[in-house]
Amino acid sequence: MSNERAYNFSAGPSMLPLPVLEDVQANLLNYHGCGESVLEMSHRSAEFKEILADAESSLRDIMNIPDNYKVVFVQGGGTVQFAMVPLNLAVKSGKIDFVVSGSWAKKAYQEAVKMGFDAKVIASSEDDVFTWIPKITKDDIRPDADYVHICFNNTIYGTHFPYIPDTGDIPLVADMSSCILSEEIDVTKFGVIWAGVQKNVAPAGIAIAIIREDLVGNAPADIPTYLDYKVHVEKDSAYNTPNCFSIYVSGEVFKYIKSIGGIAEMNRRDVAKAKKLYDFIDASDYYRCPVREEDRSLMNVVFVIGDKDAEKKFVAEAKAEGLHNLGGHRTVGGMRASIYNAMPEEGVDALIEFMKKFEAENK
3-state secondary structure 212-267: EHHHCCCCCCCCCHHHCHHHHHHCCCCCCCCCHHHHHHHHHHHHHHHHCCHHHHHH
Q: Are strands 153-154 and 147-151 parallel, antiparallel or unpaired?
A: unpaired
Q: Are 55 and 254 in contact (CB under 8 A)?
A: yes
* Count of other CB atoms within 10 angstroms of residue 68: 11
Catalytic one of 199, 255, 273, 295: 199
Q: Are 133 and 162 in contact (CB under 8 A)?
A: yes
Task: Spell out where 33-191 has E strands.
Answer: 69-75, 95-100, 118-124, 147-151, 153-154, 159-160, 172-175
Structural domains for the chain: 26-259 (3.40.640.10), 263-362 (3.90.1150.10)
Give me the pLDDT at residue 3, please. Answer: 57
Angle, in degrees to the nearest 10, between helices 18-26 and 244-259: 130
| CA 238/CA 235 separation, integer angstroms | 5
Give me the pLDDT at residue 2, please. Answer: 46
* Count of other CB atoms within 10 angstroms of residue 223: 15
Strand partners, 324: 8
Catalytic one of 97, 175, 270, 295: 175
295 is catalytic: no
1 band by pLDDT with thresholds 50, 70 and 90: very low
194 is catalytic: no
Those residues whose C-beta lies under 8 Å from the C-beta of residue 18, and which sit 6 or more positions away, are 1, 5, 342
* pLDDT tens, position by position, 35-71: 999 999 999 999 999 999 999 999 999 999 999 999 9
Question: Once rounded to an integer, what is the mean pLDDT over residues 289-314?
Answer: 97
Give me the pLDDT at residue 330, please. Answer: 85
Angle, in degrees to the nearest 10, between helices 308-320 and 345-362: 130
* pLDDT tens, position by position, 10-21: 999 999 999 999
Catalytic one of 104, 228, 270, 295: 104
Q: Are 47 and 53 in contact (CB under 8 A)?
A: no
Q: Are 210 and 80 in contact (CB under 8 A)?
A: no
